A and B are shown apart, each in its own frame.
Chain A
Amino acid sequence: MPWLAVLIAFVGFAFIALPLIGLLLEVPWGSLRDDLTTPEAAAALRLSVVCSLWATALAVLFGVPLAWVLARVSFPGRSIVRALVLLPLVVPPVVGGVGLFYAFGRDGLVGQYLYDWFGIQLTFSTAGAVFAETFVAMPFLVITVEAALRSMDRRYEDAAATLGAQPLTVARRITLPLIAPGLVAGAALAWARALGEFGATITFAGNIQGRTQTTPLAVYLLLESKPDVAIGLSIVLLAVCVAVLALLRDRWLGVG
């Protein structure tokens, strides 16, 4: 047994586990039900569910074709495009929010036309919160689906073509089912990320209770005035993420 490795591994594990344990110990189990049904908590939870599901759906809708192009189409500058698509993974979310503002704010690059021509304002709106969450969540979807597309045996698609299947039929009946595990894993990760998004949401969509104040924003604000509610909300978020990660089978995450 490599004891040194085990020891260091344990320290690493403790580093991650201790804050979670600390949080669990602070949960006011007695008042939890009441805490989570306060107007702020209820609004925050409802918004989180709605926005994160929308964000995941958009991430899948746009991310799958994007992953397909990155995996299958060879074009000049492809590696740069891929790097840009994955940028939200490393950029500080607040910076992402600022960027979103300059692109989609009322005077933004695209936002100005949305506002002037259609009267649509994305900032300070629930749609804006969905935008911010999609921005940070989509890279997870793209990266997982692209990997799945690259690792699948493309000869199945050849076989389907020789049997008479048009390209769309091949995509629908052969490609998608074969990458389904990767797609599900990517969507789950994207959803978990969208749920936890804070920086981009608060910068772009603002902090309006009932409209853009998702659970992470509510936790931040309530930490002082109603810490019990804040901790209760934190535990709910934690529980959801743990459930998502536990339900994802190891092999879908590329482990084991």
Chain B
Amino acid sequence: MSLHAQLALQLGSLDLEVTVDADEGETVAILGPNGAGKTTFLRVLAGLASIDRGVVVLDGAVLDDAGSVFVPPERRPIGVVFQDYLLFPHLSVLENVAFGLRSRGVGRAEARRAAADSLERLGLADRAASKPRQLSGGQSQRVALARAMATEPRLLLLDEPMAALDQSARGALRRELRAQLASFPGVRLLVTHDPLDAAALADRLVIIERGEIVQVGTFAEVAARPRSSYVAELVGVNLLQGVADGDHVRLPSGATLVAPEVVAGDVFAVVHPRSVALHREEPTGSPRNVAAGTVENVELLGDRVRIRVSGPVPLVAEVTPSAVSELGLVEGTPVWTAFKATDVTVFPR
């Protein structure tokens, strides 16, 4: 069982052109900022939108070839968990889960029995007669998943599965969802803008920005070597671009970074904010990368402060609140950044 989607379509101001392959037993996460085209991609796979060019093939069967073949959603072997779950408000939880089976011709009694079984397995048997509005966020998510999986689809699509839940509930539910997904035998594709979802649930990431794929890989690979500022921001690191020559990297602003590797050509340079130190006066010491700048933004995040510094080497530095008050760092303060050459990771662009 596998999915092959090589497609292009235009929707309003969005030009989507992507190629995604996924195998059974694999969870692929499509990650990207809002408007990148990930929901559109999911709708295409679900048959709720059609493509202009390309092909969508599932288990060797063509679902959409941008021409004569278009299989409507009701005839695709898919299961979809929507962002707001979209549990039918006028049907009971049991009827919701049984809906897919009944729509495909299974008798009412049999469908209800199967639905009751899956609710039992989820520990929601006592909610079978409830209406969706009586469920908590987490319960709704589980019911939505049960409903989508009830028809034993070959492709499971999840649209922002955690988005409708409180932050506090997400941790535990993510673990549970991971277990559920692991037990699903087909192809699993989830769309999200939350990197924590991707980290916890996905085996492989596909990063989409402005309608095209900018990076693929495991979370660790992507985090270590982000190839776009979106990913860098997501992962929480500084990403700089420049031209390498030996152990120097020349940035567009003219400034130079010192890096440990020997590389040449166009490169990305990654520096973690934790590695960036701030000084009121030009420091002297071992760090090779020292630059002048101005404080642009001060943001308190829990017990840490992120400071955005503008200048020839634009960086985000992570320091303690006491450091901020000691140094008197506010917007507009002139400041020096410093980080060691060994804290820089350089890789080809």
Contact = CB atoms under 8 A, between A and B. Distances in A.
Q: Do chains A and B touch in the complex (CB under 8 A)?
A: yes
Interface of A: 153, 155-156, 158-167, 169, 173-174, 177-178
B79 A165 contact: no
Interface string B171-205: 00000000000000000000000000000000000
A156 B151 contact: no
Contact of A155 (B86, B99, B104, B151): B86
Interface of B: 46-48, 72-76, 78-80, 82, 84, 86, 88-90, 99-100, 103-104, 147-148, 151
B82 A155 contact: yes
B173 to A, nearest CB: 21
A164 B80 CA distance: 11
A177 B99 CA distance: 14
A158 B104 CA distance: 16
B48 A162 contact: yes
B103 A169 contact: yes
A156 B84 CA distance: 10
Which of A161, A167, A177, A178 has the most chain B CB atoms closer than 10 A to its own CB? A161
A167 B99 CA distance: 14
A159 B82 contact: yes
A169 B151 CA distance: 17
Contact of B147 (A153, A156, A161, A163): A163
A164 B100 contact: yes
A167 B74 CA distance: 9
Contact of B88 (A156, A166, A169): A156
B99 A160 contact: yes
Contact of B103 (A155, A160, A177, A178): A160
A163 B88 CA distance: 12
B74 to A, nearest CB: 5
14 contacts: A158-B73, A158-B82, A158-B86, A159-B82, A159-B86, A160-B99, A161-B47, A161-B74, A162-B148, A163-B79, A163-B99, A164-B103, A169-B103, A173-B99
A132 B7 CA distance: 56
Contacts of B89: 178
Given A164-B151, A174-B88, A177-B90, A158 B99 contact: no
Contacts of B84: 155
B103 A159 contact: no
A169 B100 CA distance: 11
Contacts of A163: 74, 79, 99-100, 103, 147-148, 151
Contacts of A167: 74
B80 to A, nearest CB: 4
Contacts of B48: 158, 161-162
A182 to B, nearest CB: 14
Contacts of B82: 155, 158-159
A71 B161 CA distance: 31
